[in-house]
Structure 1
Amino acid sequence: MISFFTKTTDMMTSKKRWAALVVLAVSLFVVTMDMTILIMALPELVRELEPSGTQQLWIVDIYSLVLAGFIIPLSAFADKWGRKKALLTGFALFGLVSLAIFFAESAEFVIAIRFLLGIAGALIMPTTLSMIRVIFENPKERATALAVWSIVSSIGAVFGPIIGGALLEQFSWHSAFLINVPFAIIAVVAGLFLLPESKLSKEKSHSWDIPSTILSIAGMIGLVWSIKEFSKEGLADIIPWVVIVLAITMIVIFVKRNLSSSDPMLDVRLFKKRSFSAGTIAAFMTMFAMTSVLLLASQWLQVVEELSPFKAGLYLLPMAIGAMVFAPIAPGLAARFGPKIVLPSGIGIAAIGMFIMYFFGHPLSYSTMALALILVEAGTASLAVASALIMLETPTSKAGNAAAVEESMYDLGNVFGVAVLGSLSSMLYRVFLDISSFSSKGIVGDLAHVAEESVVGAVEVAKATGIKQLANEAVTSFNDAFVATALVGGIIMIIISIVVYLLIPKSLDITKQK
């Protein structure tokens, strides 16, 4: 590694290395927390800013979408410029942009803020993992540090709704953004003193491939936008079809460009390694399952159970318990029984949680949902094993690239979980809700449109018009859409579990670096 990197970690004491890990863990916690913290603020934000159903989805997932689009190019930039500088710059931007929420008076402004936070996060996230590879040269210490990284990655997303709920109990939805500011200040100050600088030597510095950057960002945005439009307008609209074809074309060109490059932004050849592919697929799907379930569960608690944001956050605590209990032991289980058994089993356990929601969810009760959430998070604890698989056969010179790929998989899983399962839920809600039956009671035009856009909108229309039956049917429709979406998610997870099992070599040992 020394031949490829200019670094200042040789004289770091053991205490300073672990202190540096704390800074990196806090950095990761804040960025992953921001993926889900807004979920709890969404109902209040919807009431105040009145965004459309599609805008609601953009508010939630634009952050992760931008992360996914910018992580690979900004990871290359951080390698060249310096990881410490990139991390601290990212946090400074994170804090400043979060303060801008004071001026938010429209859904478009909130989306813009989430976009900029995504860029800041893309400077932060890949450096947390690549710096671990630089700071911890001892394989055993590095394995422990990677386990901590994986645990924080999982717990951060789980605690987002809990912290968000606690804040919203006393403050407005703006606090879901302002909580970033003190974290950013602490990270910048601590990072200045504790983190070492590291970057590629001039001979190995990666250039910033602008065409590949444009292709990856435009391709991913086009792909997710198309999925959203299909959920809103159905499959008859020609424009989303045109966009999705263009998006896939750009992604294919991006892959071909990087395959033919001697200095690729993304070394696609890494996916030829079966363990690497298995790890990235598992990382993608664990986030796919967890984020979509969190989004729907938080809305169910606040709308169907009529809980306050804080109580809804506490009611989601079973997911955090599942993460804290199972994430620390996942690497040990993989070392004893092998990743070929542990990783697919984890994904399968998450699928069982989703199946429970469907088969025992008519109507869904909190006890049923709590059990399901524990199983979903217990399954997603396999993130720690996925991280080890991704790094296992990756050459030292490609460690930064592998870290960027891993982060991208987490973010893409988050994006597609919301876009695919979230959009499916919205579509099923509109199918189950027979809004035309209320036309004789004056629910037509804009009122009907608002009621069809979301269950929150339907409840507000019911309160304004005094038609309680509309609220009851909207809640029932949302419940049925939620559990039906969980069934689809569970089926997908079972398929992925089988794929991951087939990919992982039987004799693979994650305790031995190749």
Structure 2
Amino acid sequence: MSGTTTAAVGRHRRAAGAGADRWVVLVVLCVSLLLVALDATVLHVAVPAVTEDLRPGAVELLWIVDVYPLVCASLLILFGTLGDRIGRRRVLLLGYGLFGIASALAAFAWSAPMLVLARALLGAGGAMIMPATLSILRQVFPDRRERALAIGVWSAVAAVGAAVGPLLGGFLLEHFWWGSVFLVNIPLMLVSLPVGRMLLPESRGTDGGPWDVTGALLAAGGLFGTVLGVKRLGGGEAASPLTVLPLLAGVALLFLFVRRQRRHPHPLVELRMFTRPAFGTSVGCIVLAMLALVGLELVAAQYLQLVLGLSPLQTGLRLLPLTVAAMAAGLAGARVLRRFGPRRMVCAGFCLTAAAVLTLTAMGGTDDPPLLLAGFVLLGFGLETTLFGAYESMLSEAPAGQAGGAAAIGETSYQLGAGIGIALLGSVMNAAYAPGLRSVPGVPRSAADAAGHSLGEAYEVSGRLGGGAGAALRRAARDSFVHGLHVTLLVSAGLLLLGAVLALRLPWVMQCGEEPGGAEVELPAPREAEPAAGKPRVTA
């Protein structure tokens, strides 16, 4: 390489986080995250319109809704570790492109299988984007105090995206056809690609060695089978071979993946990270927080609408304080972490969330807006405090060269915790709900058994029965659902208190300051000329 070329390359390489560039990078990363978070929930309100237009079968409709989070969770480790090897910005930009193409395919899908395929591609694009945003953030903010603030902004944006998704979808459906909920992604992707190429830094692990393709495929297959099996368990399909076989195959593949990583000279995931108390404990806290909190879905989707009779828009407005509280907790998280340290912050977050869940056990068959407001505010603030402290501790404890893999582990634990929670708490809910319908006067046993599947089905059965028996079944189903919800929330509170005990293994004090090297970082060239003397490659 000539001296001129060497100097030119040197001018392009600067320390990560220099000047104000790191805050511009944070804005770009937050826009990326916002798109993925929006797409995870924006389809929910469009399901009736999709059903009317494409006429999918029951299985096809299930895959249209579930294939996006399923594929995304399965590929997080694959693409997170690939970014550590070939460059995190490169994987992020590829994710932008795939996300835009898949959005166009979904918007103009002419059949249910086509929409399933497009949603799967969207999941793959999301799996490229999610860990890349967090691992790049890890590199451009080497100082832990600034990184904590950046993670707070990042997590607040995630909360906004999840909440805005249904509202944006509802607005688009009022004015356009259902495909518009996907089409809105394309102009944002067209802007993000060139802006990301110009502004985002490139970084990769320095000593990762060749990428273990076999290990990556084992992880992807194992996670796919495990998450699919867990989702079907949550849907009450425990005895089905389509539940048992994927679950067993997924667990077996994950076992082979772990064994391979322990023996491989250049593992995808450095399992020794889990021997560090802060890292392993943080991952466990993320899993427990999500496992306990999926009961919120029961509150949002069924209690508010089926028990209280609120419309979808009214339900969204009732949940808005939860999102606002989560945003506030994310933005205040850095200051709280510096003052109280990871142990007290995460432990207090778990306790506050448990208090919120216990508050919500006072819900009954009639609307109580002040109670719901208090419960949702406590829930949003407590949950975000817990997740913020756990994510920040996990990411800061991981070596810089393993940032992509660590980010993927965090996101995967989030998805697995939610899936296991749906299966576990769904089983608790069904066990507490169904017995209350077996002795309703005037209701045949077959009708009672059908009504015991869900509250929505109980309302359908009561409508077919009509008369006094139908009214009695409807009242019994509502009362049984509220009882089951109380039991489920109590179990959730117990899991959250278990998380508070687990958090006692986290460090007392937040260790601040810049950290040692471990990842190559290369920022795009500035527009203005810099001194001719090239600077060597630096580490973050």
TM-score (norm 1): 0.83
- Assess, with a 3 A threshold, how the Cα gap between structure 1 residues 350 and 477 changes in structure 2: closer, same or farther: same
CA drift of 1:50 comes to 7.5
Equivalent residues of 2:144, 2:511 under 8 A apart: no
Deviation at 1:70, TM superposition (A): 0.9
Please give the alpha-carbon distance, in whole angstroms, between the structure 1 residues aligned to 2:232 and 2:146.
47
**Cα distance in structure 2, aligned partners of 1:326 and 1:395:** 27
- Provide Cα deviations, 1:167-198, integer angstroms capped at 9, x if missing partner: 45555655544443343333224323322333
- Provide closer, same or farther for how the CA distance between residues 472 and 96 of structure 1 changes in structure 2, counting only shifts above 3 A: farther
Tell me, yes or no, if the aligned pair for 2:26 and 2:137 is still in contact at 8 Å.
Answer: yes
Residue aligned with 1:338, SS: helix
Paired with 1:168 and 1:304, the residues of 2 have a C-alpha distance of 26
From 4, 26, 31, the counterpart of 2:31: 26
- 1:401 is matched by which residue type in structure 2? G
- Separation in 2 of the partners of 1:22 and 1:226? 37
Q: Distance in 2 between matches of 1:381 and 1:429?
A: 30
Residue number in structure 2 paired with 1:368: 371
Amino acid at match of 2:267: P
Kindly indicate whether the alpha-carbon contact (under 8 Å) linking 1:344 and 1:497 is maintained by their aligned counterparts in 2.
Answer: yes
Deviation for aligned residue 1:462: 5.7
**How many Å apart are 1:464 and its aligned residue?**
7.2
- Choose 165-174 or 214-223, whichever is displaced more: 165-174
Task: Indicate the residue corresponding to 1:207 in structure 2.
Answer: 210
- Counterpart position of 1:268: 271
Inter-partner Cα distance in structure 2 for 1:92 and 1:148: 25
**Helix, strand or coil: the match of 2:361?**
helix
Per the alignment, residue 511 of structure 1 pairs with: 512
Tell which structure's C-alpha radius of gyration is larger: 2
Equivalent position of 1:3 in the other structure: none
Residue type matched to 2:281 in 1? A
Distance in 2 of aligned mates of 1:213 and 1:261: 12
Give the aligned CA root-mean-square deviation in angstroms.
Answer: 3.8
For 2:155 and 2:175, the matched residues in 1 are separated by: 31
Residue 410 (str. 1) matches residue 414 (str. 2): yes
Select between 315-324 and 430-439 the one with higher mean Cα deviation: 430-439
In the alignment, residue 497 of structure 1 is paired with which amino acid? Answer: A
Kindly indicate whether the alpha-carbon contact (under 8 Å) linking 2:222 and 2:251 is maintained by their aligned counterparts in 1.
yes
The answer as to whether partners of 2:231 and 2:422 remain within 8 angstroms in 1 is: no
Between the aligned partners of 2:325 and 2:191, the Cα distance in structure 1 is 28
- Taking the aligned partners of 1:224 and 1:427, their CA distance within structure 2 comes to 23
| Matches of 2:64 and 2:452, distance apart in 1 | 19
Matches within 5 A, 1:70-85: 70-85=75-90
More displaced stretch, 224-233 vs 40-49? 40-49
Q: How far 1:146 moved relative to its partner?
A: 2.7
The residue aligned with 1:485 is 488
Match runs of 1:296-307 below 5 Å:
296-307=299-310
Partner of 1:340: 343
Whole-Å separation in 2 of the counterparts to 1:161 and 1:223: 28
- Letter paired with 2:383: T
Q: Kindly, what percent of the aligned residue pairs are identical?
A: 32
SS at match of 1:392: helix
Go from structure 1 to structure 2 and tell me whether the alpha carbon gap of 1:442 and 1:93 turns closer, same or farther (over 3 Å shift). same
Paired residues of 1:39 and 1:298 also in contact (CA < 8 A): no
Matched residue SS, 1:327: helix
Show the 5 A alignment for 1:226-241: 226-232=229-235, 240-241=243-244
The answer to whether the 8 A contact 1:37-1:160 is kept is yes
Where do residues 147-166 of structure 1 align in structure 2 (5 Å cutoff)? 147-166=152-171
Q: How big is the shift at 1:79?
A: 3.0
| Letter paired with 2:397 | E
Residue number among 137, 141, 149 corresponding to 1:144 in the alignment: 149
* Cα displacement (A) at 1:125: 0.9
- Paired residue for 1:318? 321
Per the alignment, residue 330 of structure 1 pairs with 333
Name the SS of the counterpart of 1:328 in structure 2: helix
- Residue 265 of structure 2 aligns to a residue whose secondary structure is coil
Q: CA 1:12/1:252 → structure 2, altered by over 3 Å: closer, same or farther?
A: closer
| Secondary structure at 1:307 match in 2 | coil
Offset at residue 454 of structure 1 (A): 4.4
> Does residue 225 of the first structure (1) align with residue 237 of the second (2)?
no
Distance 1:33 1:426, change over 3 A: farther
| Cα distance in 2, alignment partners of residues 55 and 432 from structure 1 | 33
Q: CA deviation at 1:57?
A: 6.7
Contact 1:64/1:414, CA 8 A, preserved across alignment: no
SS across alignment from 2:74: helix
Amino acid at match of 1:347: F
Specify every segment of 5 or more residues in structure 2 that has no aligned partner in the other structure, as ranges: 1-10, 516-540
d(CA) in 1 for partners of 2:47, 2:456:
10
Instruction: Give CA-to-partner distance per residue, 1:410-460, whole Å, 9 cap, x none.
Output: 33334334444356546655555559978769969xxx86x6654445545
Letter in 1 for 2:121: L
1:106 Cα deviation after fit: 7.2
1:18-60 CA distance string (max 9 Å, x none): 22211101111221233344445557767886765x8777655
Give how far 1:314 is off: 1.6
In the superposition, relative to structure 1, how do residues 183 and 491 fare at CA in structure 2: closer, same or farther (>3 Å)? farther
- In 1, the alpha carbon distance for the partners of 2:110 and 2:485 equals 30
AA partner of residue 378 (structure 1): F
Residue in 1 that maps onto 2:392: 388
Cα displacement (A) at 1:271: 0.7
Q: Which deviates more, 28-37 or 345-354? A: 28-37
> Is the alpha carbon distance of 1:242 and 1:121 closer, same or farther for their aligned partners in structure 2, counting shifts above 3 Å?
closer
Q: Shift in Å at residue 342 of structure 1? A: 1.2
CA shift in 2, pair 1:277/1:69, >3 Å = same
Please give the residue correspondences for 1:93-242 in structure 2 after superposition, counting only pairs within 5 Å.
93-102=98-107, 110-168=115-173, 174-200=179-205, 204=207, 206-232=209-235, 240-241=243-244
> Could you tell me which residue of structure 2 aligns to residue 349 of structure 1?
352
Q: 1:269 to 1:365 in 2, by over 3 A?
A: same
1:298–1:313 contact (8 Å) kept in structure 2: no
Three-state SS of the structure 2 residue aligned to 1:198 is strand
Cα distance, 1:41–1:454 mapped onto 2, change above 3 Å: farther
* Alpha-carbon offset, residue 128 of structure 1: 0.6
User: 1: distance between equivalents of 2:242 and 2:64?
Assistant: 22
Offset at residue 366 of structure 1 (A): 4.2
Whether the 8 Å CA contact 2:84–2:402 is kept in 1: the answer is: no
